[in-house]
Chain A
Amino acid sequence: MIMDWALLTEWTIKSLVLIFGLIGGFAYLTLFERKVLARFQVRIGPNRAGPHGILQPIADAIKLIFKEELIPAKADKIIFIVAPIITVIPALIILAVVPFGPDIRLFGRTITLYISDLNVAVLYIMSVTSISVYGIVLAGWSSNNKYATLGGIRSTAQMISYELALGLGFVGPILLSGSLSLVGIVDAQKNVWFFLYQPVGAFIFWVANLAEVNRAPFDMPEAEQELTAGYHTEYSGMKFALFFMAEYIKMIAVSAIAVTLFFGGYRGPLVDQFPVLGPLYFLIKVVAFLYLMVWVRATLPRIRYDRLMAFGWKLLFPISLGNVLLTAVGIGLVGITGNNLWLWFIPVSTILFFLLVSHFAQGAVAGGNK
């Protein structure tokens, strides 16, 4: 086997940049969230550590590292220690297939701004997200604490309910682009972002994403008011920080995936002429989505656990199935007539379908108690 040392170096550097970028992004995402939340809540937010509080994440990191680590006496020690690690790893590797920009030329070589262009990239994302729940479940179980166990059980139930809608949300862009590779999907959005063809799909994907990363209003597993801190009740110090890190990195990751699937990835005006703009556009779009997440957290109360399941199964799941069906019909119509205008059949019909289903499902989901 002949090693292409240059290629290996390139991969290593890209991976390191991605990992450190995510960790740094995590640190400053916490500051971003606190600042934005503060603004929503008529407060100022952190402003003591450094100018405008920009050193706050560093102070937090120092605090968390030097905190005492407690392991409950009746906890399952091995799993208790391994669980946070299991949680962080999927969060870190999930972005390996996402393109951050077009190819650029540097030092006389073409450098691709993604780590790997897997031809089954979408499946890769699915499988990584599906195993990321284990960390939470095992943390909940190994703590030997009733709140933590309830949190763990909630997270499994929630994950099963939302994985389906999430998976079906992927299908829309796959059908439209005819590719399972994220690079291919981004290339297919050269002219029109899939969001315009797939408004319902994008919406459902986004809602399922919020549930997937346990963000408000779907933060059941760690619902502070009910389960104190849910699955990480017993964690402290750096182990707690790892959960924290995983949650925020996942936020970045799902935002990046949503941008890639529905909002043209790094695409934007003049990208083909100036490839450097690609990562910039990408970053702006991701930050916009992160802002959206914070906004939702600042605005909405938490949905109750059983309602959440009903919402997932009775509303999101049928709508996303219908969305897939109507998308296929639209693409079929384009195939039969050869007229690309038929693509606009998809958004029109899916929105109508969405309104129809949500009208009828309202009683089943919202008014369950009456």
Chain B
Amino acid sequence: MSIDIILFLGLAVVAILSAAGMLFSRNAIYSALFLIINFSAIAVYYLILGAPFIALTQITVYAGAIMVLFIFVIMLLGAEQTGRTPASWWMRPLGMGLGALLILESLYLIFTHLHSFPQPIEIIDGFGNPGQVGEILFDKYVLPFEIISLLLLVAMIGAIVLTKKKMKR
């Protein structure tokens, strides 16, 4: 077994355990922390795949910015102390059903396409470095990029408008 595989498996364990921990821990702060570990594990995957730019962006944006806001909100609202919200009767069976469906689907895909996985593509020189990401983002995908930024702007303005309205009441 090469060192890459060992690394891969180890990370997989960390990622899955942290994801499970996020789901099952009662304390919202613990959930958030498990999610951060999960994000970091995935960032290391990007690193293994030779995309340091995306790896570090993942950490900065998700672990560094978004989760800080999450924790900020949890701490401000004191949400870590609230007990379990009572689930409706249909929630549990529905969740189980959907979960089972997802597992079946994945198993089907894995076993039917076992021999037809796409071959690893040749990594070109400078793959995933900031320059290349930038070029692709602002050249080939410039329209989606701009649309996304507009969407975010709209969301931001919406948030401001909503809070302002509440303040006036």
Contact = CB atoms under 8 A, between A and B. Distances in A.
Asked if A and B form a direct contact in the complex, defined as CB atoms under 8 angstroms apart, the reply is yes
Contacts of A126: 56, 60, 64
A252 B91 CA distance: 53
A28 to B, nearest CB: 31
Given A119-B129, A123-B57, A130 B64 contact: yes
Contacts of B9: none
A115 interface: no
Contacts of B56: 120, 123-124, 126-127
A313 to B, nearest CB: 12
Interface string B1-23: 01100000000000000000000
B166 to A, nearest CB: 19
Contacts of B57: 123, 127
Contacts of B53: 120, 123
Interface in B60-82: 60, 63-65, 68-69, 71-72, 75-76, 80
B130 A153 contact: no
B60 A127 contact: yes
A120 B75 contact: no
B88 to A, nearest CB: 31
A29 B130 CA distance: 36
A363 B52 CA distance: 43
Contact of B71 (A1, A129, A156): A156
Contacts of A17: none
Interface in B26-72: 29, 33, 36, 52-53, 56-57, 59-60, 63-65, 68-69, 71-72
A160 B75 contact: no
A223 to B, nearest CB: 18
A120 B130 contact: yes
Contacts of A271: none
B69 A160 contact: yes
A157 B72 CA distance: 8
A189 B11 CA distance: 40
Contacts of B52: 118-120, 123
Give the size category of A's interface with B.
20 to 34
B65 A163 contact: yes
Given A127-B59, A131-B59, A134-B36, A156 B72 contact: yes
A152 interface: yes
B167 to A, nearest CB: 16
Interface residues of B, number: 23
A361 to B, nearest CB: 19
Given A120-B53, A123-B57, A131-B63, A152 B68 contact: no
B68 A160 contact: yes
Interface string B107-138: 00000000000000000000001100000000
Nearest to B4: A1
A214 interface: no
Contacts of B130: 119-120, 123, 180
A123 B76 contact: no
Contact of A137 (B63, B65, B68): B68
A130 B75 contact: no
A153 B72 contact: yes
Interface of A: 1, 79, 118-120, 123-124, 126-127, 129-131, 133-134, 137-138, 140-141, 149, 152-153, 156-157, 159-160, 163, 180
17 contacts: A79-B29, A79-B33, A119-B129, A120-B52, A123-B53, A130-B63, A131-B59, A133-B64, A137-B71, A137-B72, A149-B75, A152-B75, A153-B75, A156-B68, A156-B71, A160-B68, A160-B69
